[in-house]
Amino acid sequence: ADPVAATIDTASQEMIARAQKMGIDTVFDRAVQMKPCAIGMQGICCKNCSMGPCRLPLPKGGIEGEDTRKGLCGATANTIAARNFIRMIAGGASAHSDHGRSVAEVFRSAARKETDAYQIKDVNKLLEIAPFLDVAVTVEEDGEVKDRDVDEIAVEVAEKAINEWGKPEGELLYAKRAPEALYEKWKKNGVIPRNIDREIVEIMHRTHMGVDQDYKNLIKQGTRAAIADGWGGSMLATDLQDVLFGTPYPLQSEANLGVMKEDHVNLIVHGHEPVLSEMIVAVCQKPEIVEYAKSKGAKGIQLGGICCTANEILQRHGIPSAATFLQQELAIITGACDAMVVDIQCIMQNLANVAKCFHTKLITTHPIAKMEQDNVIHIEFDEHYALEDADKIVRMAIDNFANRGAEVMIPRQKATQVAGFGVESIKYHLGGTFRGDYYTLNDNIINGRIRGIAGVVGCNNARTRHNEGHIQVVKELIKNDVIVLTTGCNGIACAMEGLLTPEAAAVHCGPGLAEVCETVGIPPVLHLGSCVDNSRILLAATEVVKAGGLGKDICDVPVAGSAPEWMSEKAISIGHYFVASGVYTVFGVTLPTSGAPVFHDYLSKELEKVYGGKWDLEVDPIKHAQLMIAHIDKKRKELGI
Ligand code: BF8
């Protein structure tokens, strides 16, 4: 791969070139060597039974007249594309939700006081979410209303929360956190999730050979599972993480490979669940551990994060973000990564091959995520021995410091970032006690200083130039006075570009947004955390509705969503719960629906009539942002502002 064509980031360009010189292949090289399957890309390859795979390519020049394509069983292109699409939702929703379940289980251990490694850090958040889980925070005793014991509330919240994954009856409790109009819409259309796991299982059933064959009915189940992700598994993950580890609040940090330090032990944590990374952070702060690192010749320990683990420990502790998804191999290619510890999701198997070329210890920690290569060390992380396990991992990194070769080369590039935003801090910065919580934000949207709100999120994808889409879309939005809420790898990309600083307002924003950001002292792009924290965007949008003046439902608000460089199934689930929550959502790169035009039109036109949100695809970043702005303007017009 040509390093400059592969990425806009000069630190990454240096590392790609270095890898090539050393004869080590990275994802950027593999993307050039292997082209994707044109049929699979269009979403019309069905391999759900062994009579196939049946492939239904779209004829060149499109379809004239009746579309007679069908698989052996008769499945049409629409059915196949819809099946594949909702299986992606099932994959994404299960990843987010299983993560949420792990957190809920650790939370239950903490609430029952079975572990001393985890405690309840944010009692306010616990009390705030309890009523949504049907847990009372007060009791009546002797005719008097009294506060209930917090420990008791915690145990009940834990049990009720875990119940959401598999309760035999009733409906997802958090569905009622949505604006009433949206809840009613879901109810009317029969898409309120029953429990989180069931909706995912039902997708696997419905897409089995010979079951659901109507693309509209298939996507309806996709909608129900996606809502169970966004307003269920992901939202519970976010909430319980906040209760356990603290609700994020704005703080300053740095981003990009340049956060690694030559004279420090560099320990990189990569993956998703903060249950592990929180413990690593805690151990690295212990004076005896720092002393131990010094005794081995290092000046200290430099922690860095990759992917959403980066976002989790950034938001709560200010630990710098070392890399986006596509830079993970490059972190090892610096030669300075003494250990990389991974848990689940977005971890490339090739890390093990790259680690073989250096001294880097690659450590897997999760029972459901192991690697086959023999240089990988597995230390299974057990929440009951969390600190001991974390201690073992950190010491392994320290002991490995002395084994570095001569080939250390850390790129110098890093940028300052202000991160740690959330529903609560937006309340503080753009709310006010005067007229409701989000009054200042709404007021500035109504008076036009802020044109609208965009949620720009998601992955990197080696099929498109690394970070180019992210940065161009975000810059175009803020230039046009649209405030951006970011999560996931988009957040890291924006941080690397310096967009997560208050100073970025004067340089990149339109006059209205610049004025608001400068007055309040916030960046024009607010980092809300990891991909499960997209639930924060849903709740922020709900707060906007509640604050008044901008309609009765999320679909009334001048808001749009985007994932310019998506690649994972999780992104499809997120995209779909955004759409089902009333958000116009544009994806870059490609959508696996192009081979089934009728199904594609259903997603990008018809769904809007049902939920108020719809899908769109636009590869060109500027046009992509302009589509979002046009939608925002349409909503403004409808509101008469
Ligand atoms: O959940 S944005 S590449 S890191 S999938 Fe993965 Fe995509 Fe990054 Fe986190 Ni989200």
Interval 266-292: pLDDT, tens? 999 999 999 999 999 999 999 999 999
| Section 246-250 average pLDDT | 96
At 560, which helix (H) or strand (E)? strand 559-563
Mean pLDDT of the chain: 96
Q: Measured from the CB, is residue 307 less than 6 Å from ligand 1?
A: yes
Please list, residue by residue across 367-396, b when 16 or more beta carbons sit within 10 angstroms of its beta carbon and e when fewer do: eeeebeeeebeeeebebeebbebbbebbbb
* Mutation probe of ligand 1 site: the residue of 306, 489, 490, 533 with most atoms within 8 A of C-beta: 489
Q: Measured from the CB, is residue 96 less than 6 Å from ligand 1?
A: no
pLDDT of residue 60: 85
Ligand 1 atom having least distance to the Cα of 306: 4
Question: 291 C-alpha to center of ligand 1: Å?
Answer: 35
pLDDT of residue 292: 98
* Domain 418-639, second-level architecture: 3-Layer(aba) Sandwich (3.40)
Residue bearing tokens 């992210």: 470
pLDDT of residue 433: 56
Flag whether pLDDT at 435 surpasses 70.
no
Q: Measured from the CB, is residue 542 less than 6 Å from ligand 1?
A: no
pLDDT of residue 195: 98
* Mutation probe of ligand 1 site: the residue of 568, 572, 573 with most atoms within 8 A of C-beta: 568
pLDDT of residue 71: 98
Spatial separation of the C-alpha atoms in residues 531 and 536, rounded to whole Å: 10
Ligand 1 atom having least distance to the Cα of 324: 8
Q: How confident is the model at residue 436 (pLDDT cuts 50, 70, 90)?
A: low
pLDDT of residue 192: 98
Spatial separation of the C-alpha atoms in residues 65 and 85, rounded to whole Å: 25
Flag whether pLDDT at 404 surpasses 60.
yes
Flag whether pLDDT at 304 surpasses 60.
yes
Sign, CA dihedral 170-174-177-179, equals negative
Cβ pair 310, 274 in contact under 8 A: no
CATH fold label, 257-403: Rossmann fold (3.40.50)
CA distances from 450 to 92, 479, 484, 515, 578 (A): 32, 11, 10, 9, 21
Q: Coil, helix or strand for 128?
A: helix
Question: 531 C-alpha to center of ligand 1: Å?
Answer: 6
The residue whose C-alpha atom lies closest to atom 6 belonging to ligand 1 is 346
Flag whether pLDDT at 405 surpasses 90.
no
Is the fold of 257-403 the same as that of 418-639? yes
- Say which residues have a Cβ less than 8 Å from residue 383's Cβ, sequence separation at least 6: 105, 106, 109, 115, 117, 118, 275
Cβ pair 396, 361 in contact under 8 A: yes
| Token couple for 42 | 């269009």
Spatial separation of the C-alpha atoms in residues 172 and 194, rounded to whole Å: 6
Flag whether pLDDT at 457 surpasses 80.
yes
The residue whose C-alpha atom lies closest to atom 7 belonging to ligand 1 is 459
For the ranges 116-120, 309-313, 458-462, the lowest mean pLDDT is seen at: 116-120
Q: Coil, helix or strand for 148?
A: coil
Position 134, amino acid:
D
Flag whether pLDDT at 98 surpasses 60.
yes
Q: Measured from the CB, is residue 488 less than 6 Å from ligand 1?
A: yes
Q: Select from 98, 116, 44 the least CA-distant residue to 75.
A: 44
Flag whether pLDDT at 72 surpasses 60.
yes
Spatial separation of the C-alpha atoms in residues 379 and 386, rounded to whole Å: 11
The residue whose C-alpha atom lies closest to atom 1 belonging to ligand 1 is 531
Flag whether pLDDT at 563 surpasses 80.
yes
Q: Measured from the CB, is residue 243 less than 6 Å from ligand 1?
A: no
Report the alpha-carbon angle 572-575-579, nearest 5.
Answer: 135
Q: Coil, helix or strand for 388?
A: helix
* Domain 77-245, second-level architecture: Up-down Bundle (1.20)
| Section 311-327 average pLDDT | 98
Q: Measured from the CB, is residue 126 less than 6 Å from ligand 1?
A: no
Question: 573 C-alpha to center of ligand 1: Å?
Answer: 12
Q: Measured from the CB, is residue 489 less than 6 Å from ligand 1?
A: yes
Q: Select from 318, 238, 324 the least CA-distant residue to 537.
A: 238
Q: Measured from the CB, is residue 310 less than 6 Å from ligand 1?
A: no
Q: Measured from the CB, is residue 558 less than 6 Å from ligand 1?
A: no
pLDDT of residue 429: 82
Helices within 530-591 (DSSP H only): 534-547, 569-580
For the ranges 39-48, 435-444, 489-498, 559-568, the lowest mean pLDDT is seen at: 435-444
Position 587, amino acid:
F
Beta bridge partners of 323: 306
3-state secondary structure 479-544: HCCEEEEECHHHHHHHHHCCCCCCCHHHHHCCHHHHHHHHHHCCCCEEECCCCCCHHHHHHHHHHH
Ligand 1 atom having least distance to the Cα of 566: 7
Q: Measured from the CB, is residue 555 less than 6 Å from ligand 1?
A: no
Rg of the chain (C-alpha set): 24
The residue whose C-alpha atom lies closest to atom 4 belonging to ligand 1 is 307
The residue whose C-alpha atom lies closest to atom 3 belonging to ligand 1 is 459
| Section 510-515 average pLDDT | 97
> How far is C-alpha 255 from the geometric centre of its chain's CA atoms?
17
The residue whose C-alpha atom lies closest to atom 9 belonging to ligand 1 is 308
* Mutation probe of ligand 1 site: the residue of 346, 348, 535, 565 with most atoms within 8 A of C-beta: 346
Spatial separation of the C-alpha atoms in residues 308 and 326, rounded to whole Å: 13
Q: How confident is the model at residue 7 (pLDDT cuts 50, 70, 90)?
A: very high
Extents of the domains making up the chain: 3-55, 77-245, 257-403, 418-639
Question: 437 C-alpha to center of ligand 1: Å?
Answer: 30
pLDDT of residue 61: 85
Q: Measured from the CB, is residue 568 less than 6 Å from ligand 1?
A: yes
